[in-house]
Every structure is written in C-alpha cells, then in structure tokens.
Chains A and B, each alone.
Chain A
Amino acid sequence: MKIKGISLKDLAILICDYLAKNDIETVLTGGACVSIYTSDKYVSYDLDFVLLSYISRKKIKSLLERLGFQEKGRHLKHEDTPFLVEFLAPPLSIGEEPINEINEIRKGNMVLRLLSPTDCVKDRLAAFYHWNDRQSLEQAIMVCGDNDIDLEEVKRWSIHEGMEIKYDGIKRKLQREK
C-alpha cells in the first residue's frame, strides 16, 4: 500500500496490521476513530494507538522506520502524508474502566482494531467531562448521528465516572442526533 495520498483509515489499517504481524497489538483511539465513524465529516490528523502491552519506543520506531516514518518528538511522521502517529502507554481504558470489546475493520487480509462507536462516544465525552472541551462534545454528537450507539451504556458509564449531572445536560443532544 502506497503512503502518498493515503486516507486516514487506510493508514490506520496499514500500521495496525503491520504492527500486529510483528507481534505488537494496538488499538486506535481518539479523534481518528471519530473521523472513521463519521466518514471524515470530522477531520483528524492524529492517529493515536494505545499499546496493549509495554513495548519499547525504540522497537516501534525501528519498525515504522521501515515504512518510511521518522520520529519527530513523540510522534512519527512520514513525509508523504500529513498524519501524525503516536503510541500511548497501556492500559486501554476510558476513564476508570478497562475496554474489553474492541471493534475491527477489515480490508482484504488486513485488520484495524479500534474503539467501538459507543466507546468512541465515551472517549470523546471523557474529554468533555474532565476538561470541558466542547469540541469533543461536538465530536461525540457527530458519532451518535452516524452510528448505532448504546446510550444506556453511555449513561451507565457517565454515572460511574461521577458525571450524571453533565450527562443529563447533554443527553438530549446525543439522542437528537440518533
């Protein structure tokens, strides 16, 4: 797969699958999942992968260098694409809770592992709850509009995070988009 002109989704598939074939399990999180679940209505340039076990940065860097990526600070960047790739330390979690159900997108014999649409909404809401980031709330609303979201689960998780009042304030916005 060529890197030049590659879409965010295809790049995510390429990297996730390449690392998995080298025994490094990752899951795509953050704004890139919003891009994928909204068919690029929201545009992200960050591919944030959470590592499922501790792997040295050196090992990842060396593997991605074979694909033409170079380390720039904490990110990896390829000159043929504007996307920035970053690897986050485990565990895979949203707020206090671990994530057990991971979604998969397949392209040919390649597999991208990423947050489910419902976990993607929770991930965006976590940023809204803890930092009052309204851009993240807008992203959560967009994902609700384009996907089948388990709002009961979002409510349960919000209460567990101690954010019932904030959830009550936004639930109509999330429902309206469904």
Chain B
Amino acid sequence: MLEPLLESEKKEKILLYLYTNGEAYPREIAKAFRFYINTVQNQMLNLEIGGVLYSRLKGKVRLFGINPRYPFKKELEALLEKTLKFIPDEEKEKFYTPRLRPRRTGKPL
C-alpha cells in the first residue's frame, strides 16, 4: 500500500509491525515475514538514522520502536492506521494483532 511512497514493501511491513506491536527486534521481524535479517537490520538502522525509529538495549537485545520524538509521528501513525484497513484480515491477524495485555505466569494461553 505504501510502497510507492516508501519505495519498499519491507519498510512498510516493518513500520506496520512496530506500530501494532510496540517494540520489536530485527530478528523477530525477519522471522515473522521470512525476510533476510540483514535486510531488516539495514532498513531499521536507516529509519533510526532518519529519526523515525528509536532503539534501546534491553539485556543483549536491541529493541526498536517508532520514535515518540519524531515530528511526523502522529501523521505517520495515521497513515499506518489507514493502511491496516486495506490489509486482508488473515494477514492482519497473523502479523498485526498481537496480544499486548499481560498474562500471569503459569496461566495457559
């Protein structure tokens, strides 16, 4: 949907994943979409250089998210929200509808 604008299907999927999942690490996204890890890493690093994403270390993992200080964050999120409406339900459920609320330890999923 946003490929003409972003010039990359992968970039669109990365942004949608981060928008719907909050934070994520490159390997997680690469695994979800079966992308090469290096491609995902490069896209995310470029988005970070551009100020669109932030990253932080948690333990040994570098987590990325949409930068709350990015001046066009609201507009970007509105665009991503609209994009989600055009995504098939199956795809939406598989990649972009994570369970974000907590679940107590030991409780079956």
Chain A contact residues, CB within 8 Å of chain B: 74, 88-89, 91, 93-98, 126-127, 130-131
- Inter-chain contact A93/B71, CB cutoff 8 Å: yes
CB distance from B47 to the nearest CB of A (A): 10
Q: How far is the CA of A98 from the CA of B71 in the complex (A)?
A: 8
* Total A-B contacts with CB atoms under 8 angstroms apart: 21
Closest to B74 in A: A96
Interface size on B, residues (CB 8 A): 8
| Binary A-proximity of B13-52 (CB < 8 A = 1, otherwise 0) | 0000000000000000000000000000000000001110
Interface of B is mostly: loop
Q: How far is the CA of A74 from the CA of B68 in the complex (A)?
A: 21
Q: List 17 A-B contacts (CB under 8 A).
A: A74-B49, A88-B51, A89-B49, A89-B50, A89-B51, A91-B71, A93-B69, A93-B71, A94-B69, A95-B71, A96-B71, A96-B73, A96-B74, A97-B71, A98-B71, A126-B69, A127-B69
Chain B contact residues, CB within 8 Å of chain A: 49-51, 68-69, 71, 73-74
Instruction: Give every chain B residue within 8 A of A131 (Cβ-Cβ).
Output: 68
**Known interface pairs A95-B71, A96-B73, A127-B69; 14 further A-B residue pairs with C-beta atoms within 8 A, sorted by A's residue number:** A74-B49, A88-B51, A89-B49, A89-B50, A89-B51, A93-B69, A93-B71, A94-B69, A96-B71, A96-B74, A97-B71, A130-B68, A130-B69, A131-B68
- Inter-chain contact A95/B50, CB cutoff 8 Å: no
CB distance from A159 to the nearest CB of B (A): 15
Instruction: Give every chain A residue within 8 A of B71 (Cβ-Cβ).
Output: 91, 93, 95-98
Instruction: Give every chain B residue within 8 A of A126 (Cβ-Cβ).
Output: 69
